[in-house]
Structures are given as structure tokens and as C-alpha cells.
Amino acid sequence: MTGFSGLDVGRPDDATAAAAGGSAALLRPAQRVLSRVNAVVGWLSAITVVAAGFVLTYEVFVRYIYKVATDWQDELSVFLLVGATFMSASYVQSYRGHVAIDAMKEILPPAVDRLRAIFADAASLLFCAFFSWKSWTLWYEAWDEGQVTFSSWAPPLWIPYSLMAFGMTLLTVQILVQVLGAVLVAKDRAR
């Protein structure tokens, strides 16, 4: 499959599809559920980006045509874009669509490159798991303390924090399934 900019981003489930009859088949139910969740969240993220565009267009229209200042549109559009960014991360990862440097792939032997990819994914998994945990602690603090933004609209901060936490958790689960799939495929190849 080709991505938006013509980059080859692969298909979802590549790690588990590669081992159709091997140990990675154990991950198929989890990957199926994750693919469905990613599809729904991906569509919601796309709708959210369009909604943010409408909010910003409305703000420009009323500010310059009617000379009416609005104070809520900036925060709402930021909330929508934060949600779209974090919520769509797992969908993008399922296609391996995040930025990657493939210079080493061309010069390493295939077996060594597979180990490099597993190591890189494991490092990403650790980072995303930590980020998820910190996001949930931010969400809890905002919820527990009733934190709001400093604007006159003052929406609660638990809203963007919950979107960030859920999106990062979904990304962490996606990377975990991919790492486990790659490890199981490597194990099957070693047999």
C-alpha cells in the first residue's frame, strides 16, 4: 500500500501475517480486535481534524467579517487536534507509517536487520508505555483536582489528557502486538 506522500507503508498485520501457521498465529485474535478499534479510531480522528478545520474557519469568518471575538475556538481546535494526533497513532503504527530510518536495512544482512527492528520496536514500546503511564497520571490529577484551562471558557483539562492517555495506550498495545509477533516469527525461523 502506498501512503499519502507515495511512501510504501505496508499493510496492517504484517508481523502476524508473516507467520500464518507459526506461533504468531496466537496473536491473530488480538490483532483482529486491535485492527477494528484502529479503524474506528482512525475514522474518528479524520472527522476530528475536519471539525477542527471548521472551527478555525468559523473563527476567521466571525472575527474578520462580523468583528466578533471568540475565545473558545483556539482551545477547542487544540483539543480536537490533540485528540486526532494521539488517537490516530496506533492506526498509523499498524501500517508502519511512522517515520523510520531505513538506511541500516540496506546494508545489514536480513537476520541482523530483523533483530535491529525488534530492538527498535522494543525501545519504542518502552517509551510509549512510559508515556502512557504519565498520561494517565496527568488525566487522574486533572480529574481529581478539577483542573481547567486559564481561559474564560475554562474547559476541563481531563478531556485532552484522556484522549492523550487512551491514544498512547492504544499505540503501546499496537507496538506490543507487533513486537510479540516479530519475536514469535524469529523464534519460528530459528527452529
Give per-residue pLDDT as tens, 34-93: 999 999 999 999 999 999 999 999 999 998 999 887 888 989 999 999 999 999 999 999
CB-based contact 71:156 (threshold 8 Å): no
Look-up of cell digits 484502529:
38
* Ramachandran sector of residue 154 (left: φ over 0; alpha: ψ -120 to 50; beta: rest): left
SS3 (DSSP) at 100:
coil
Please say whether the beta carbons of 157 and 148 come within 8 A. yes
Three-state secondary structure of 29-63: HHHHHHHHHHHHHHHHHHHHHHHHHHHHHHHHHHH
pTM, full prediction: 0.85
3-state secondary structure of 96: coil
Give 126-141 pLDDT, tens digit per residue: 999 999 999 999 999 9
Question: Which residues are paired to 2 by β-bridges?
Answer: 8
Binned at pLDDT 50, 70 and 90, residue 170 comes out as very high
The cell numbers describing 116, all together, are 535491529
What distance in Å separates the CA atoms of residue 179 and residue 128, rounded to the nearest whole number? 13
Instruction: List pLDDT tens digits, range 92-115.
Output: 999 988 877 777 888 889 888 889
